[in-house]
Amino acid sequence: MVGPASPGLLGYWIVIALMMTGFYIVIAHDNLVKKIVGLNVFQVSVFLFYILMAKVTGGTAPILDEGIKLYSNPLPHVLILTAIVVGVATTALGLALVVRIRNAYDTIEDDEILAVEEEEDR
């Protein structure tokens, strides 16, 4: 039986803890920058998830060399390289939007922005 305390699954438990932390920050925080930070934590947990998945116990980096028979799976690493680029782009765009929002509304608190917008709707 593999229980939650088993070291083999420890990585996955960390991934889930990070994932939920990030998700919680996105939902619960009103500060727009903190939301982006939460989003980052959430994405990084997925990166970790892919990297853990690729690890083969006793395997080494996928470099051809004499005497090495066992390699970790390189494909998820390559995939996650792409996802990291996407994550950087999203963060940059999100922060750029926050700058513009701050110029337009003079605040980066979501609840204050909502109050202004509800005023406009009326």
Binding site for another protein (CB under 8 A): 23, 26, 32, 35, 39, 42-43, 46, 49-50, 53, 76, 79, 82-83, 86, 89-90, 93-94, 97-98, 100-101, 104-105, 113, 117, 120
Tell me whether residue 8 or residue 67 sits nearer to another protein (CB atom).
8
A 10 A CB-CB count for 22 gives 20
Closer by beta carbon to another protein, 66 or else 119: 119
C-beta of 61 vs 104, nearer to another protein: 104
CA quadruple 93, 95, 97, 101: dihedral, nearest 10: 180
Question: Which whole-number Å values give the CA distances from 48 to 35, 81, 111, in the listed order?
Answer: 20, 11, 32
Least separation in angstroms between residue 65's CB and another protein is: 23
Three-class DSSP labels, 49-60: HHHHHHCCCCCE
CB of 66 to another protein, least distance (A): 25
